[in-house]
Amino acid sequence: MTTAYRQSPRLVRNILFLLFALPGLSFASWISLTPAIRDLLHVSTAEMGIIMFAAAAGSIIGLLAAGSVVARKGARLVIVGSSLMIVIGLVAIGIGSAMTMMSVVIGGLIVFGCGFGAAEVALNVEGSAIEKALNRTLLPSFHGFFSVGTLIGAAIGAGAMAIQIPIMAHFSILALLITVTLFYCYRYLPKDTGKELVDGAAQRSSAVKQQLEVWKEKRTMLIGFMVLGMAFAEGAANDWLPLIMVDGYGVSSLAGSFVYGLFVAAMTLGRFTGGWVMDRYGRVWVLSGCAIAAILGLLLVIWGQHYFVASVGVVLWGLGASLGFPVGLSAAGDEPQGAAARVGAVATTGYIAALVGPPLLGFLGEHFGLLRALIVVLIGMVISASLTRSAKPI
């Protein structure tokens, strides 16, 4: 791997803070408007789960394809290309919603999800390189800026609904903003981060072999299952929380978006303070505390019986889910030899949760209600809590 910094690593770090926020901004903008989009499309909860499945499936495609493209072309090209896919997807979702054409919305979500998944891979590769260049732990902060993006996106979504801005206009303005920001920032990124200077055929063979081998390692497998449960808890909120509050507690779409804002605010706080807390108390204790907080939060949301109690639960849920994914990736990379393959394997489990979660909760929500469907998420978090010792540093 080679990384030639024409710019100061600190400048690249600051640019990455901004670039990490953009996928979060776009994703939260889509999620905050799901109740309004569902009403425009006149679809059921189960059908909305299928629609959300399109974004998750696209994310898996992007995740699986991005690694080999980064290895051949470098992370910068993937960051630019994936961000443009997010822009195209947003515009298509807006058009499909305005025309009440579910097929256009689904197509837009596939493109959007593909760009989102590829961006996550390329940005983390670039972020890992900056960590090494500056000899500092930065990935939790980078993911914190992703959460800042989700917080801003949720706030903008709630504001847009409050003043009744059409969804198509909202997404078009957002797409223009992302495009302008991208073309300002990309020039500051190094060209060759993540690029492998080896023969292409040998590279693909080695990559496949490494990906298969790491699943034979007990520690990697246990970390993967821990991340699966925690990512499921995070993804369930990201996909369904506004609708959970609207359907489960009878609040307005605006109030549902506000509660989603509470969740992403808690996620942001957890990620920005997580590094300091881990340095003080250790990785295992922090992950265990996060799991307990998420379990308590889910209990309050499912059986709280009141909007205010559920809102407190959402805050605990967000704090508890904040560190599972980034800390799991960090734990997977403890051993330098084969770290990339392990991190990729653990990241894949997180996206499996995103792939399976939306349709599963949609199906269960259609038959038992979305609040009761969260019991599956609760069970997953209990399992994750039992596996936190697998992330003990080596």
| Dihedral Cα 305, 291, 338, 193, nearest 10 deg | 60
Integer Cα distance of 125 and 389 in angstroms: 26
Tell me the mean pLDDT per 10 residues along the chain, length 394. Answer: 60 91 90 86 84 84 79 86 95 93 94 90 80 76 86 86 88 94 89 66 54 78 93 88 91 87 89 84 92 97 94 96 86 68 75 73 88 95 96 85
Integer Cα distance of 341 and 192 in angstroms: 19
Integer Cα distance of 309 and 296 in angstroms: 11
| Fold equal for 1-197 and 210-394 | yes
Where does residue 331 rank: exposed (0-12), middle (13-18), buried (19+ CB within 10 A)?
buried
Please list the residues that pair with 2 across neighbouring strands.
195
Place of tokens 């696209």: 58
- Domain ranges in the chain are 1-197, 210-394
According to the model, what pLDDT value does residue 4 have? 47
Q: In three state form, how does the secondary structure of 11-37 look?
A: HHHHHHHHHHHHHHHHHHHHHHCHHHH
Where does residue 62 rank: exposed (0-12), middle (13-18), buried (19+ CB within 10 A)?
buried
According to the model, what pLDDT value does residue 383 have? 96
Q: Architecture of 210-394 per CATH?
A: Up-down Bundle (1.20)
According to the model, what pLDDT value does residue 2 have? 43
pTM higher than 0.85: no
Do 59 and 238 meet the contact criterion of CB atoms below 8 Å apart?
no
Do 181 and 18 meet the contact criterion of CB atoms below 8 Å apart?
yes
Integer Cα distance of 236 and 374 in angstroms: 8
According to the model, what pLDDT value does residue 45 have? 77
Domain 1-197, CATH = 1.20.1250.20
Q: Is 290 left (phi over 0), alpha (psi -120 to 50) or beta?
A: alpha
The one-letter amino acid at 384: S
